[in-house]
Structure 1
Amino acid sequence: MGGFSYHRRGKQVIATFTGFEADLLRSLAGQLVELLRNEAAAPSESQDPLEAMFDFSGPTTEPDDPVLARLFPTAYREDEEAAAEFRRFTEGALRDGKANAAATIIDTLEEAGLPPELTEDGLVIDVELDHDEAETWLRSFTDIRLALATRLGIEEGDEDYWDSLPEEEQVAQVYGIYQWMGVLQETLVDALWGE
């Protein structure tokens, strides 16, 4: 498990993933895209493109799915009407942005050669990102970690509980993926803005 580093000469953020890691990352991003797009209201196929740009008929209530509720929290807890209006005007675009960011991870991995190539060290895939692409990946990593934390029920200060679980338990393995995503997120931040 490596992470990201910055290549100053090419001004690229680079990472090498094993075949398993690349496939896992693609799967996580794909699940996020599916969740975001399947829960969103499908636009009408007959709708005029100009009309669609000014369509503010988005959802007005908090999503039922806990992950979506975490990704799209209520803006005004004390004012239901203001919260509903804010959600109606913003959630559709926010969903699209998050889904597109996760889709960028999938597309980049596939463009970089997923399925991976066989080298002396095993199956690997090299990813090179410019600054904007790296920031897009970083935003999606945040969403993926929030989704995992919500599904697992992770709370602040409960690390001892998670560390005490036997490694063979499935929930412990998913927690390991959550931690791995944290390492990727941290190394990507360092690659973008570290010294």
Structure 2
Amino acid sequence: MSGQFTPIPGGGAAVTLDEVEISIIRSLATQLLELFGPGEETPDDPLAQLFEEGPSEPPSDPVLKRLFPDAYGGPQAPGRRPPDDKEAAEQRERAAEFRRYTENDLRARKRDDALAVIRSLDALVPTGGSAELHLDPEGSRRWLGALNDLRLALGERLEVKDEDEIEDLFRLPDEDPRKPLVMAYLWLGSLQETLVATLLP
């Protein structure tokens, strides 16, 4: 796995992927879509869409919880005193309110990003075992969002809390069932890094 994104004239990016790489990304993006679940039916009225309420509780699945974290509370900053019961209750209330009005839109955007990746891969016609993917600037942004979500999902499954931990996982023996996930995690990180570079001025 060595594909790297390069900038193309007029904006956007290109990368050469072999059939195995195409299959891996497509499979991971499909699994992510299944995890997100089917899209909700949205009202036709734009005003109704604006005030449509979503869930107020965080997801139970750890990957979804990582992709849709609470906006308030979260990890405690070093040296800062933990919140008392009243402050913690207020944080939970603010987080629930924020989630109620933002999660549906965020979930829809993440679903659209994953779907855009799948569709762009499906449009490829490999010749000689590989194909070159060309993305316009919008496609690049969608891919960047999806790659980030895929890495967060894999990181959660691998229980990566700190990037330094990935070094230990990299040394796992080949027969360890986590090794393919580790390799995919590292490879997606490389793809993401090179794609970010193409978007910089």
TM-score (normalised: structure 2): 0.83
Deviations 1:8-36 (A, max 9, x none): 3x544111100010111111111111111
Indicate which of 52, 77, 89 corresponds to 2:101: 89
User: Which residue number corresponds to residue 65 of structure 2?
Assistant: 69
**Paired AA for residue 118 in structure 2:** I
Q: More deviation in 127-136 or 95-104?
A: 127-136
Work out the CA distance in 1 between the residues paired with 2:58 and 2:134: 37
5+ residue gaps, structure 2, are: 74-87
Asked if the contact 1:15–1:127 (Cα under 8 Å) also holds between the matched residues in 2, the reply is yes
Following superposition, the deviation at residue 80 of structure 1 comes to 1.7
Uncovered stretches (5+) of structure 1, i.e. residues with no partner: none
- Give how far 1:155 is off: 2.4
**Structure 1 partner of 2:76:** none
Matches within 5 A, 1:169-184: 169-184=176-191
Runs of 4+ in 1 over 6 A off after TM superposition: none
Q: CA RMSD in A?
A: 1.9
Q: Is 1:126 aligned to residue 122 of structure 2?
A: no
The residue number in structure 1 matching 2:170 is: 163
Question: 1:132: Cα distance to partner?
Answer: 1.5
2:123 is matched with 111
How big is each residue's C-alpha offset from its partner over 1:33-80, in whole Å with a ceiling of 9 and x where there is no partner? 111125x7x44xxx8522752452310001100111111111122422
Residue 191 of structure 1 and its aligned partner are, at CA, apart by 1.9
Q: Does 1:49 align with 2:18?
A: no
SS of structure 1 residue aligned to 2:118? helix
Aligned to 2:145: 139
Residue of structure 1 equivalent to 2:112: 100
